[in-house]
Amino acid sequence: MAMFLGMISFLLALALFAGALVLWHNGRQAGAGLVRVAGAVLGVGSVLTALCTVYFMFVYRVQGDFDSAYPSMMGEMMGPGMMRERGMRRMHPGMMPGTPPPADAPKAAEPKD
């Protein structure tokens, strides 16, 4: 998943660079200085974005985030740390998915026929 998102970000940076080249070319032919400046700013920004994306994709690869399809923090989100989240403060630990109810919890009423 992280690799897929990194590739999307890199391809968007390449598309912006192509747009910058078009602006630069059109500004040169028409003699419009502002269009050339916009193309230059867009080109520099897209190159910096692509370099940043490549750098962080390398960092995430070294950390092992590309080894599975799911983020590594997913298990931490579903564990006991989930109780600290905003909506989970009032929830009893026995109500968490995958945990047994506490021993002192009242039993559910049996349906009567």
Max intra-chain CA distance, the chain: 88
Q: Measured between alpha carbons, how far is 24 from 16 in angstroms, rounded to an integer?
A: 12
The per-residue pLDDT for range 17-38, each reduced to its tens digit, is 999 999 888 887 767 888 888 8
Mean pLDDT of the chain: 77
CA distances from 33 to 16, 26, 27, 46, 113 (A): 19, 10, 6, 20, 85
Q: Measured between alpha carbons, how far is 40 from 23 in angstroms, rounded to an integer?
A: 8
| Model pLDDT, residue 14 | 94
Whether the model pTM is above 0.85: no
The gap between the terminal CA atoms of the chain, to the nearest Å, is 51
- Work out the percent of the chain whose per-residue pLDDT is above 90: 27
Helix, strand, coil % (nearest 5) of the chain?
65, 0, 35
Polymer length of the chain? 113
The per-residue pLDDT for range 33-71, each reduced to its tens digit, is 888 888 899 999 999 999 999 999 999 888 888 777 766
| Model pLDDT, residue 5 | 86
Q: Token pair for residue 40?
A: 């230059």
Asked whether the predicted pLDDT for residue 6 surpasses 60, the reply is: yes
CA distances from 102 to 50, 61, 79, 87 (A): 52, 41, 17, 21
